[in-house]
Chains A and B, each alone.
Chain A
């Protein structure tokens, strides 16, 4: 073996060891797992609009050292399930009940009864086993701008939009079914048509509704806000979570009206739970007790136009928000059925009904 081949071999070896070393060196900063002290990793999809920073600051003032990991709802739920054998996060909050049902079924979250459990309606969370607990409630509404469509002209039932051709192409439908809100819209559409003998637990009439809903709608435009489309007259109606209305009315000069059907609108409840297998169980529980308390939830509600489930915190919520939410009846949705089938519903819709 001459000198150069030795150089060659050692170079290749060095490359190999780079790969191996990066694997090993990683051991030193597994802050995420293994030790019971250190920063508490909080997983959430509710960190945008400055919420993440606010929570981190407030927690730090309360003596809690946390790091927020913010991801979109579906991505976050998938990540927690994928990591369940070696959890990286310690607490998760903000996902809706549908996602939490999945996490519970996958045993990715574990039961803990928070100190504030008496202040919330336990049926809004996991009444059976107390695995996850409710924080904030939102309505998913069909909104319009009363400057262009008067309340008297607006349909009274959402289904009027696709019943006949009057509103064809005039309401926005979100076709990104991997996201949480479009999934909830789908669940709301199908809920009245639950039928054990039907396809995927839904009668044919239900699927006709889905077909008509997407068939008559105008698909959402990636990167263009619903309200931008409303004010330039592209569409007159569109779905939005209730917490987004106030800021848009200020920004776009709209006066939002919502269709309030007799059977109600879908509500979602954002929840909180300890991630199963965390080494920082105690800190995780401490964080949950702090974050869900009426005081913190009240401040959070006042700052971010949220509607807290914690009844004592509601006093601090914005009056406009309380008024809107309390004017909208809650649609009766079988969440157990929805969780069981939502994946298949999304798949069927994606394959057969999307435009």
Chain B
């Protein structure tokens, strides 16, 4: 494999990057934390084991992750099937409703649900008017967190399972039907098995999201269901407790890696036949049974309403004064443009938007481009060395972003030979690097899954026809994974846009990113409109993120639809 210069260069760059930016800074930080006087300290471990609260939170995080791994798959696969596989009336409208989770998340999403179903929420108020005896706190704890997070994290399913589904060989499905297989049987024996690599990949992501759940438990968990992420956040901000933060994060990270290893094995043992080698586009399936068809329609639209309401509310709330929101009384007089005036009245309000758009676009483009090569090499040459490299590239999943950022600041505050004797602390590049680093595992995971579903015969054919390795990569393989790569780029872009954790330690004073600007404008003892201003920023972010998704999907989606139409005409 080393004879190919492409592989050689990719390997060299990867090894250099891993050593310089993943291992060196984090190892320095961790050694400092766990070996305070050159001796291994078990302090953190003892503290955690003896703390009932820590153990409970940890258990809750795992419980949540495990639950989500199931519930998100159920809801996510259902969503993908009703929008892309079955013939459902108004599937495009449904898609738009389900896609709302692409453009918002975090505290606003949790707050949005809380405003509807929470103690003072609309639904609770309305039901309370009829049945005054209801438990007003019905929407809290484990149940509420699971519901909200299930709905909020189906994003990956929509994008990645959706694109895998589109690649299924339709002829297999037709063949099965000709042999007399029913709808359910085709689904179970042909469609779902073909989606397995991607289902594995998104399950790992869901599990990780569940473990790291921060805002939903804070807002909706109540005292009974607190998870470990808020604790990690508190500890990582205090130098004397950073060992606890690191240890907790490592426990969560290792659990993810174990799951990842299991999925990797399962992925290797599977054989995936059904991926299309001949371009017969998937045609939407009618559900023959009328009752089932009706039930599926009702479910799909009910889910649509649940997904779309919080977004509509947030847009509405951005036009309300904050006391009206907090009192839960919405009248025509409360409608105002003041919140927007406050945001746009701030001098240089646009600058943080530009800074963040540039950072996010650069970081997500670089990471996807780089990982395209890396994922390809890892996928093609499986040996212990590439296996090790792959796991090392998941280091950013093991540590919280705050610690990664701290490690970078403290490592690159002096000339380092590994980066050619540069000092990176205090420069604009360090934040970009951090953004690239934190997005590596997610990008790699999904790109690898995308490459896995490309049949090797395609590549063999290209080679037999005399194509070189780069030509094959560029003309045969990349086009097949480009939809996934584009989706990853957009998702990375969207998630970096309002980042706070990395920026807080790394941003250059003259280039303030959006996350910091939002925090600054919503904080403050006398800032009573903070929630409204958060809503305004959310609406603005939704517009940018929606635009990003349109650039990726609106156009490529249109292209596929055109292709489908052309195919059906033939």
Say whether A71 contacts B413, CB under 8 Å.
Answer: no
Chain A residues near B373 (CB-CB < 8 A): 12, 15
Interface residues of B in 478-526 (CB under 8 A from A): 504-505, 508-510, 512, 516, 519-521, 523-526
B47 part of interface (Cβ distance < 8 Å): yes
Cα-based distance from A187 to B37 in the complex (angstroms): 29
Say whether B520 contacts A79, CB under 8 Å.
Answer: no
B500 to chain A, nearest CB (A): 9
Q: Given A4-B469, A83-B409, A222-B107, is A27 in contact with B238 using a C-beta cutoff of 8 Å?
A: no
Say whether A244 contacts B426, CB under 8 Å.
Answer: no
Cα-based distance from A69 to B111 in the complex (angstroms): 28
Q: Given A243-B526, A351-B51, is A15 in contact with B233 using a C-beta cutoff of 8 Å?
A: no
A5 part of interface (Cβ distance < 8 Å): yes
Chain A residues near B528 (CB-CB < 8 A): 225, 227, 247-248, 251
Say whether B520 contacts A70, CB under 8 Å.
Answer: yes
B558 to chain A, nearest CB (A): 29
B397 to chain A, nearest CB (A): 21
Say whether B420 contacts A223, CB under 8 Å.
Answer: no
Chain B residues near A78 (CB-CB < 8 A): 237, 239, 406, 505
Say whether B510 contacts A49, CB under 8 Å.
Answer: no
Q: Specify the chain A residue showing the minimal Cβ separation from B10.
A: A12
Say whether A49 contacts B237, CB under 8 Å.
Answer: no
Cα-based distance from A78 to B402 in the complex (angstroms): 11
Say whether A71 contacts B10, CB under 8 Å.
Answer: no
Say whether B468 contacts A79, CB under 8 Å.
Answer: no
Chain B residues near A246 (CB-CB < 8 A): 526
Q: Given A1-B5, A48-B520, A347-B244, is A19 in contact with B17 using a C-beta cutoff of 8 Å?
A: yes
Say whether B504 contacts A71, CB under 8 Å.
Answer: yes
A31 to chain B, nearest CB (A): 6
A17 to chain B, nearest CB (A): 10
B46 to chain A, nearest CB (A): 11
Cα-based distance from A72 to B218 in the complex (angstroms): 19
A224 part of interface (Cβ distance < 8 Å): yes
Say whether A74 contacts B237, CB under 8 Å.
Answer: yes
A100 to chain B, nearest CB (A): 15
A266 to chain B, nearest CB (A): 15
Chain A residues near B521 (CB-CB < 8 A): 48
Say whether A83 contacts B413, CB under 8 Å.
Answer: yes
Interface size on A, residues (CB 8 A): 83
Cα-based distance from A5 to B244 in the complex (angstroms): 48
A20 to chain B, nearest CB (A): 7
Say whether A29 contacts B423, CB under 8 Å.
Answer: no
Interface size on B, residues (CB 8 A): 84
Interface residues of A in 50-78 (CB under 8 A from B): 52-53, 67, 69-72, 74-75, 78
Q: Specify the chain A residue showing the minimal Cβ separation from B325.
A: A228
Say whether B527 contacts A2, CB under 8 Å.
Answer: no
B418 to chain A, nearest CB (A): 11
Say whether B427 contacts A232, CB under 8 Å.
Answer: no
Q: Specify the chain B residue showing the minimal Cβ separation from A71.
A: B504
B301 part of interface (Cβ distance < 8 Å): no
Q: Given A5-B469, A19-B17, is A252 in contact with B234 using a C-beta cutoff of 8 Å?
A: no
Q: Specify the chain B residue showing the minimal Cβ separation from A138.
A: B525
Chain B residues near A22 (CB-CB < 8 A): 429, 432-433
A30 part of interface (Cβ distance < 8 Å): yes
Q: Given A9-B5, A23-B419, is A4 in contact with B241 using a C-beta cutoff of 8 Å?
A: no
User: Per a CB cutoff under 8 Å, which of B234, B508, B520 touches A178?
Assistant: B234
Q: Given A79-B505, A352-B51, is A222 in contact with B215 using a C-beta cutoff of 8 Å?
A: yes
Say whether B238 contacts A343, CB under 8 Å.
Answer: yes
A244 to chain B, nearest CB (A): 4
Cα-based distance from A82 to B509 in the complex (angstroms): 15
B422 part of interface (Cβ distance < 8 Å): yes
Say whether A232 contacts B239, CB under 8 Å.
Answer: no
Interface residues of B in 173-232 (CB under 8 A from A): 215, 218-219, 223, 230-231
A264 part of interface (Cβ distance < 8 Å): no
A16 part of interface (Cβ distance < 8 Å): yes
Contact with A along B391-429 (1 / 0, CB 8 A): 000000000000000100110011000011011111111
Say whether B107 contacts A72, CB under 8 Å.
Answer: no
User: Per a CB cutoff under 8 Å, which of A13, A30, A346 touches B238?
Assistant: A346
Cα-based distance from A72 to B518 in the complex (angstroms): 12
B166 part of interface (Cβ distance < 8 Å): no
Chain A residues near B568 (CB-CB < 8 A): none
Say whether A2 contacts B510, CB under 8 Å.
Answer: no
Cα-based distance from A320 to B527 in the complex (angstroms): 19
Say whether B13 contacts A222, CB under 8 Å.
Answer: no
Q: Given A27-B427, A178-B234, is A222 in contact with B406 using a C-beta cutoff of 8 Å?
A: no
Instruction: Identify which of B53, B234, B327, B425 gathers the most chain A CB atoms within 10 Å of its CB.
Output: B234
Cα-based distance from A33 to B427 in the complex (angstroms): 9
Say whether B219 contacts A82, CB under 8 Å.
Answer: no
B320 to chain A, nearest CB (A): 14
B559 part of interface (Cβ distance < 8 Å): no
A29 to chain B, nearest CB (A): 6
Cα-based distance from A346 to B230 in the complex (angstroms): 13
Cα-based distance from A67 to B366 in the complex (angstroms): 30
Q: Specify the chain B residue showing the minimal Cβ separation from A8.
A: B470
Say whether A67 contacts B422, CB under 8 Å.
Answer: no
Contact with A along B3-23 (1 / 0, CB 8 A): 011100110010001000000
Chain A residues near B120 (CB-CB < 8 A): 232
User: Per a CB cutoff under 8 Å, which of B366, B422, B469 touches A15?
Assistant: B366
Chain B residues near A130 (CB-CB < 8 A): none
A114 to chain B, nearest CB (A): 23
Say whether A82 contacts B525, CB under 8 Å.
Answer: no
Say whether A26 contacts B428, CB under 8 Å.
Answer: yes
Q: Given A86-B426, A248-B528, is A29 in contact with B508 using a C-beta cutoff of 8 Å?
A: yes
Q: Specify the chain B residue showing the minimal Cβ separation from A248.
A: B528
Cα-based distance from A12 to B5 in the complex (angstroms): 10
Cα-based distance from A27 to B412 in the complex (angstroms): 13
A152 part of interface (Cβ distance < 8 Å): no
B54 part of interface (Cβ distance < 8 Å): yes
Chain A residues near B10 (CB-CB < 8 A): 12
B323 part of interface (Cβ distance < 8 Å): yes
Chain B residues near A5 (CB-CB < 8 A): 4-6, 468-470
A124 part of interface (Cβ distance < 8 Å): no
Cα-based distance from A92 to B232 in the complex (angstroms): 27
Say whether B524 contacts A48, CB under 8 Å.
Answer: yes
Q: Specify the chain A residue showing the minimal Cβ separation from B20.
A: A19
Say whether B215 contacts A33, CB under 8 Å.
Answer: no
Cα-based distance from A87 to B425 in the complex (angstroms): 9
Say whether A221 contacts B219, CB under 8 Å.
Answer: yes
Chain B residues near A219 (CB-CB < 8 A): 223
User: Per a CB cutoff under 8 Å, which of B366, B427, B428, B505 touches A82?
Assistant: B505
Chain A residues near B524 (CB-CB < 8 A): 48-49
User: Per a CB cutoff under 8 Å, which of A2, A32, A70 touches B508?
Assistant: A32
Chain A residues near B505 (CB-CB < 8 A): 75, 78-79, 82
Cα-based distance from A289 to B526 in the complex (angstroms): 27
User: Per a CB cutoff under 8 Å, which of A4, A31, A241, A343 touches B470?
Assistant: A4
Cα-based distance from A177 to B238 in the complex (angstroms): 10
**Complex A-B, nearest 9 residue pairs according to Cβ-Cβ distance, in ascending order:** A48-B524, A26-B427, A8-B470, A343-B240, A244-B525, A351-B51, A228-B326, A4-B468, A26-B429
Spell out B's residues near A (CB within 8 Å).
4-6, 9-10, 13, 17, 47-48, 50-54, 107, 111, 120, 215, 218-219, 223, 230-231, 233-235, 237-241, 244, 323, 326-327, 346-347, 366, 369-370, 373, 406, 409-410, 413-414, 419-420, 422-430, 432-433, 436, 468-471, 473, 504-505, 508-510, 512, 516, 519-521, 523-528, 530-531, 534
Q: List 27 A-B contacts (CB under 8 A).
A: A5-B468, A8-B6, A8-B469, A19-B433, A22-B433, A23-B422, A24-B420, A25-B429, A27-B427, A29-B427, A48-B526, A49-B524, A52-B520, A70-B520, A82-B406, A89-B509, A176-B234, A222-B218, A224-B531, A232-B327, A243-B526, A247-B528, A343-B240, A344-B240, A346-B234, A350-B53, A351-B50
Q: Known pairs A5-B4, A8-B468, A82-B406. 4 more at Cβ < 8 A?
A: A8-B6, A48-B520, A83-B425, A240-B525
